[in-house]
Structure 1
């Protein structure tokens, strides 16, 4: 029984020792909060404006198409009782055609907009990763963790502001 107890104690001591050596191996740790970084990035407003400018002609085209549809629907409602069956059918088909065209353009717009936003987010993400790597190397961090995944982190470990500043330098 004493041998078993000694063996268990020795095993426990070895395991505890190995955990403490792992903990000591990563002595300099930092956390970053990506959402906070993206919100504070100096390029954020430029990217938003760039995408707005890029998609504005298509937005204007769709607004114009909406007005045409609304106008024709109002005409159908207002003058429908006075129109011949042939004219009613023609107007109804025009409205259906415009609505189908609008839906097709809207779907294409949403897909293109989503794709472009993803492209720009990936570019921003690359800049963030490069900035984090530069800070980690320069300041000797052994580990940089996403703060949103951590249960708890001291505020002094947060280097998000440093990352934003580093990105600002690299414009």
Structure 2
């Protein structure tokens, strides 16, 4: 009796696993390398240029301060032996003031640039997501995975990154 129960249990498990394997084989699965799609889009390069232009004046101001600080540090090292105490103190005060101004401008500027880059990145990722959803519905995919999350793929023809890149590239 026990052996009959075990045999039925084993048969049920094997039958279920064969049915689930058949069900999985019928699913249409695709892969998208979202990072590669993002990097290859013309919108990504356009956004970089837009952000650079948006913060151009502030970046030039910070770069000027960096040059001034470097100049005064070099001057301090070069002329320290011939400077009077008053000149040394004046130069040190100027350096401290420049460093403080640089710090007060550079960090908020960097945060603003990162915030804007994040906003634009999220917009582009939204476009990519819409394109994936649209393509998956049109081509009857059951599952689309990020290619970076997949360790092995036997059939490379399931990679639809090129089609997604083409679709998103057409969006203005």
The normalised TM-score by structure 2 is 0.87
Q: Shift of residue 128 of structure 1? A: 0.2
Q: 1:80 to 1:6 in 2, by over 3 A?
A: closer
1:66-115, Cα deviation, whole Å (9 max, x unpaired):
22223333333344444432332122111111012112222112211211
User: What residue in structure 1 maps to residue 16 of structure 2?
Assistant: 15
Question: 2: distance between equivalents of 1:170 and 1:36?
Answer: 17
Q: Shift of residue 21 of structure 1? A: 5.6
Structure 2 unpaired stretches of 5+: none
User: What residue in structure 1 maps to residue 97 of structure 2?
Assistant: 97
Aligned pair 1:157/2:158, yes or no? yes
User: What residue in structure 2 maps to residue 124 of structure 1?
Assistant: 124
1:4-33, Cα deviation, whole Å (9 max, x unpaired):
322322332353145236415x61111100
Give the alignment's Cα RMSD to 1 decimal. Answer: 1.9
Question: 2: distance between equivalents of 1:137 and 1:118?
Answer: 28
Q: Shift of residue 136 of structure 1? A: 0.7
Q: 1:2 to 1:80 in 2, by over 3 A?
A: closer
SS at match of 2:150: coil
Question: 2: distance between equivalents of 1:2 and 1:8?
Answer: 10
SS at match of 1:127: helix
